[in-house]
Amino acid sequence: MHSSSSSGSRLCLRSLFSSLPVKILVLSTALVPFHAINASKTPAHQFDSVVNSNKLTVVAVKSPTTVFEEGGHLHGFGYDLVRNYAKNMNVKLDFKTVSDDATALKMVAQGKANMAMTTSSISSIEARKLTSFSATCGDGSSLSSKGLNANLNWVFKSANDPLSQTASNFVCNSKQSGAINQLASFYNQNVVEEHFRDNIHQDLSQRLPIYKASFQRSAQQYGLDWHLLAAIGYQESYLKPNSVSPTGVRGLMMLTSSTAKAMGVNNRTDPVQSIEGGAKYYDKMLSRFEHIPMPDRNWYALVAYNMGPGAVQKIQNSIRNQGKDPDNWVNLYSYLEHNKASNGRYRQALQYVTRIRSYLEQIKSSELVNI
């Protein structure tokens, strides 16, 4: 379900704030807490509703650009961006998915949602007398170059509502800081090249049925999503239980000798033991970062599965020393990306977590889920 706003015009920072000095524009959202902006005396403003209820209700249609559901948790470029906006406002996010954009727009028009994320045409948005702006602050190439829909918009009921104005500021500040490009890079739909996708699908079709029951059993034991465990297994060994790396890591889940021993695995080439050991270890990694909300916790745990939790915590310390939030996935991803040229482990970790995310989505969005 998605919607837009009253004037029917596209919201643009340049037109909204052209009369204000640049310094005021840059500092406005940084110096004035959202809750301190008393959105006007009119209770009809969605900003008032969000502040009073301490909840931002957002509606969207599931798509590779907006949101993807994994094991009861949501992730995706659009979802992560709006989640960060809600966090910036210091309110809870109530994220709803609907079957089509028309329903989303209708919900915003009726006041049943504070905003929508949609790829609807501008004419469709304006026909409902709603307002919108680009979810990339006009930098559509940051999405299109990564296989995402460059026409993603945030839609509001009114351009005069402080909610749409602060949201526009947030998006454009995110563009300037590089956060939008980092999110787009992580959710890159081209991370697996087109000519490899048929091979991956064939591999999974042949091997996943053999180990599906083991993935499901171990996932149930530790409260995990079996599709995610399968994606980890495919990244680690292509689901080949006799795989061995040059460093001696072995088995379907590619456990080191010490990790296997700690997880109670006696035979690393036994796929049942390997899957159970990998699930147990991944669950331990999740526990190490239990203070981080989903879906970020999944990505932190995957990097830790690949590099070790100590390495992740060292990176977090470096991020903290930069004055940034060490528990925000965008910041961890950005640190790895920025330093990958000088550290091969960082490059490997980036590829590792990004490919698992891609394999997970491929498994869950195809007939493989019913194998």
> Largest Cα–Cα distance in the chain?
70
Q: For residues 124 and 58, state if they share a domain.
A: yes
User: For the segment 75-118, what is each residue's pLDDT rounded down to a tens digit?
Assistant: 999 999 999 999 999 999 999 999 999 999 999 999 999 999 99
Confidence check: pLDDT of 8 > 60: no
Domain count, the chain: 2
User: For the segment 174-216, what is each residue's pLDDT rounded down to a tens digit?
Assistant: 999 999 999 999 999 998 877 688 888 899 999 999 999 999 9
CATH code at 79? 3.40.190.10
Tell me the mean pLDDT in the region 308-320.
97
- The burial of 353, by beta-carbon neighbours within 10 Å (0-12 exposed, 13-18 middle, 19 or more buried), is given as buried
Confidence check: pLDDT of 2 > 60: no
- Residue 335, domain member (yes or no): yes
In sequence order, the 6+-apart residues with CB closer than 8 A to the CB of 349 are 303, 306, 307, 336
Confidence check: pLDDT of 230 > 80: yes
Q: For residues 53 and 97, state if they share a domain.
A: yes
Q: For residues 328 and 232, state if they share a domain.
A: yes
pLDDT of 7: 39
pLDDT of 370: 64
User: For the segment 12-62, what is each residue's pLDDT rounded down to a tens digit?
Assistant: 433 333 444 433 334 444 444 444 444 344 456 999 999 999 999 999 999
Whether 236 is a known active-site residue: answer: yes
Mean pLDDT of the chain: 88
- Residue 6, domain member (yes or no): no
Q: For residues 319 and 274, state if they share a domain.
A: yes
Q: Residue type at 225?
A: D
Q: Name the one residue in this structure whose structure tokens are 């033991």.
A: 273
Q: Please tell me which residue in 236, 276, 290, 361 is annotated as part of the active site.
A: 236
- Residue 212, domain member (yes or no): yes
Burial 91-124 (b: 16+ CB within 10 A, else e): bebebebbeebbebbbbbbeeebbbbbbbbeeeb
User: For the segment 266-294, what is each residue's pLDDT rounded down to a tens digit?
Assistant: 999 999 999 999 999 999 999 999 999 99
pLDDT of 70: 73
Instruction: Pinpoint the alpha helices (H) of 254-295.
Output: 257-262, 271-288
Confidence check: pLDDT of 71 > 50: yes
Q: For residues 172 and 205, state if they share a domain.
A: no
- Residue 17, domain member (yes or no): yes
Q: For residues 217 and 145, state if they share a domain.
A: no
User: For the segment 335-345, what is each residue's pLDDT rounded down to a tens digit?
Assistant: 999 999 999 99
Q: Examine the fold and report which residue of 186, 220, 249 is the final residue of a domain before the chain moves on.
A: 186
Q: Are strands 92-98 and 115-118 parallel, antiparallel or unpaired?
A: unpaired
Q: Residue type at 295?
A: P
- The burial of 5, by beta-carbon neighbours within 10 Å (0-12 exposed, 13-18 middle, 19 or more buried), is given as buried
Confidence check: pLDDT of 327 > 90: yes
Residue scoring higher pLDDT (210 or 1): 210
Q: For residues 217 and 179, state if they share a domain.
A: no
- Residue 293, domain member (yes or no): yes
CATH code at 257? 1.10.530.10
pLDDT of 62: 94
Q: Which two tokens stand for residue 3?
A: 């919607």
- Residue 4, domain member (yes or no): no
Q: For residues 182 and 204, state if they share a domain.
A: no
Q: For residues 123 and 207, state if they share a domain.
A: no
pLDDT of 193: 76
Residue 333's nearest CA partner among 313, 353, 308, 309 is 353
Q: Examine the fold and report which residue of 158, 186, 214 is the final residue of a domain before the chain moves on.
A: 186
Q: Examine the fold and report which residue of 186, 207, 232 is the final residue of a domain before the chain moves on.
A: 186
92: three-class secondary structure by DSSP: strand
- How far is Cα 32 from Cα 26, in angstroms, rounded to an integer? 11
Q: Name the one residue in this structure whose structure tokens are 């500021």.
A: 169
Q: Which two tokens stand for residue 99?
A: 């079957």
* Confidence category of residue 1, pLDDT binned at 50, 70, 90: very low
- Residue 254, domain member (yes or no): yes
Confidence check: pLDDT of 247 > 80: yes
- How far is Cα 292 from Cα 124, in angstroms, rounded to an integer? 38
* Confidence category of residue 367, pLDDT binned at 50, 70, 90: low
- DSSP letters of 45-78? SHHHHHHHHTEEEEEEE-BTTTBEEETTEEE-HH
* Residue 327: domain span: 194-370
Q: Which helix (H) or strand (E) holds 132?
A: strand 131-134
- Residue 130, domain member (yes or no): yes
Q: For residues 182 and 296, state if they share a domain.
A: no
User: For the segment 145-176, what is each residue's pLDDT rounded down to a tens digit?
Assistant: 999 999 999 999 999 999 999 999 999 999 99
pLDDT of 343: 96
Q: For residues 38 and 91, state if they share a domain.
A: yes
Q: For residues 160 and 71, state if they share a domain.
A: yes
Burial 132-149 (b: 16+ CB within 10 A, else e): bbbbbbbbbebbeebebb
Question: 150, 140 in Cβ contact below 8 A?
Answer: yes
